[in-house]
Structure 1
Amino acid sequence: MSPNPQHPGPVRPAAAVNEDIRALWHGGDRDPRLRLTTAQRAMYERLLREWIAAARAEYIAAA
């Protein structure tokens, strides 16, 4: 199951996507107390959709 149905492809493991989410929130020079920029928010939303798809795929595979 792809995170984007219009672009089918393999799903990365949920843990890998979670690492990207954590890096977005805590990486670089950004003060973690500040809000995300518009571009960062768009990336976060994309990563969140990808994480949901990955978690769902892992849950189904484990069932």
Structure 2
Amino acid sequence: MRVFQVRQTTTGAILWTGAAADPLSALDAMAHEAGYYDHSDIPEHMRAGGLQAEEVRV
């Protein structure tokens, strides 16, 4: 597993940091922790500016 941060692209706000296999899995994990089934269920107003999953290098 690698560590990813999910950010709201427009504001740069970090929405989630955690372990995932790949960027798509990171988006799904973030959504699941927030109570959604997967990233496609995240409300449009949160996705409007874009979501970006980026691997964190430590």
Give the TM-score of the pair, scaled to structure 1.
0.31
Structure holding more helix per residue:
1
Structure with more contact order per residue of length (Cα contacts < 8 Å, sep ≥ 6):
1
Query: Please, what TM-score do these two structures have when normalized by structure 2?
Result: 0.32
Higher strand share: 2
